Structure 1
Amino acid sequence: MTETSSLPPAVRAAAELAASALTAVRAEQLTTPTPCGDFDVRALVDHLAWGALLSQRAATRLALEHDWSSNRPAPFLDGLDPAEWPAAIIPELDAAADAWADPAAWEGETLMGTTPMPAEVVGPLMLAEFVLHGWDLARAVGAPYDVPAEVGEATLAAVRPVAEMGRDGGWYGPEVAVPVDAPAFERALGLSGRDPAWAATAGRGAARG
């Protein structure tokens, strides 16, 4: 089990990984397919924006009502050209990492959107959200994405207990077989319905969450 004291730095590293992928997005790539279900790059960038906002709210015990099937962009993207979205999201990821840096954020109960959940469960899920979607985006745009071993372990620890629920709920695709001795992050990818070997020319994957 991942030690709670190691999670705030892991969230920071996860946010930085997602930010590195966002930095690599070019305007002409916004319609490029991603490993993430029906999301193209534009939709995935917006999903990351909502994820950053959801993470901030969860760390500070605030509800977030949002229809995840809607095409409405995150409020802080309102009025911006989609080509400007990636740069606008990076400070929000940093703010989420700041919020989870407070040890109190990991204690007691919080809200995942509008659903009460233990903070010690929500925090790792937010970490995985950043790392996995950062990988989706990096793969789609052809950017490097090097996940530190400890972040991979934290991501696997977050995904493993919710993988079946995620598949039932449609936010993870069918499990992709990955060797048992593969790095932790590759095993997390497989559990979440992602093929570690996915490339933009290979087509769409099934994962969404």
Structure 2
Amino acid sequence: MDDKQHSISSLLAAAAARAVPVVRGVDERQLGGPTPCSGYSVRELLDHFFDVVVNFTRLGGKKPSAFAEKPDYLGTSDWRERFADEVDRLVSAWGAPGAEEGTTGAMHQPARTVGCMALLDLTVHAWDLARATGQEYVPDPAGVATLAAVIDELAPAARDAGMFDEPVHTAADPSPFEELLAATGRDPYWS
């Protein structure tokens, strides 16, 4: 799990710089559309994405998560800017001294592992939304490299929990990001 060449905070910041414009680019008329994230409409995925960011911020601060709660994050007209604010909080929480040390979360996972889970969600859900809404998305190469080093460790538990589908096959000579998407059960060529 240790690609410690980059801090989780710096990786999250780079992923955030790519994710926030995608969320800002979602048109209200697209909220009912399908996404590559199995079983989620654009609106449901945005709500889930918000929830992930808020809860991984808590985990970065060594506080308990509240994933069981399901607030409606899109209930106000300023949800795009609120998402950007929450992502800023996520990056700050993981940049605080000691955030990557010890364990965090109810499962007592190593903090860096949990930070990589946050990075995975920020990276992959931004791609999901970009694909679903016809936007361009290019992930941060350092983030993809970090995730490629840990995906085999994260995927089995994520599949058991129903968060990932079974891996899909890719075309010959896939990019590292296409391999990462396929490992999460997503079709990298979804449209």
- Please indicate, yes or no, whether the TM-score normalized by the shorter chain is above 0.5: yes
User: Could you say which residue in structure 2 is the equivalent of 1:87?
Assistant: 81
Q: Which portions of structure 1, spanning 4 or more consecutive aligned residues, are displaced by more than 6 angstroms?
A: none
The answer as to 2:110 corresponding to 1:118 is: yes
Q: Return closer, same or farther for 1:36/1:109 CA change in 2, 3 Å cut-off.
A: same
Helix, strand or coil at the partner of 1:104: coil
User: Could you say which residue in structure 2 is the equivalent of 1:49?
Assistant: 50
Q: Is the 8 A contact 2:31 2:41 kept in 1?
A: yes
Helix, strand or coil at the partner of 2:98: helix
Between the two proteins, the alignment pairs up a number of residues equal to 190
Deviation at 1:25, TM superposition (A): 0.1
User: Could you say which residue in structure 2 is the equivalent of 1:13?
Assistant: 14
Percent identical among aligned pairs is 31
Q: Show CA shifts across 1:92-133 (max 9, x none).
A: 01110111122410001111xx33221011011100010010
RMSD: 1.9
Q: Is the 8 A contact 2:60 2:104 kept in 1?
A: yes
Q: Return closer, same or farther for 1:91/1:181 CA change in 2, 3 Å cut-off.
A: same
Deviation at 1:176, TM superposition (A): 0.9
* Equivalent of 2:189 in 175, 197, 206: 197
Q: Is the 8 A contact 1:125 1:159 kept in 2?
A: no
Deviation at 1:156, TM superposition (A): 2.0
Task: Please list every run of 5 or more consecutive structure 1 residues that lacks an aligned counterpart in the other structure.
Answer: 200-209
Q: Return closer, same or farther for 1:192/1:104 CA change in 2, 3 Å cut-off.
A: same
Structure 2 CA distance, aligned partners of 1:103 and 1:127? Answer: 18
Task: Please list every run of 5 or more consecutive structure 2 residues that lacks an aligned counterpart in the other structure.
Answer: none
Deviation at 1:161, TM superposition (A): 0.9
Structure 1 CA distance, aligned partners of 2:109 and 2:47? Answer: 24
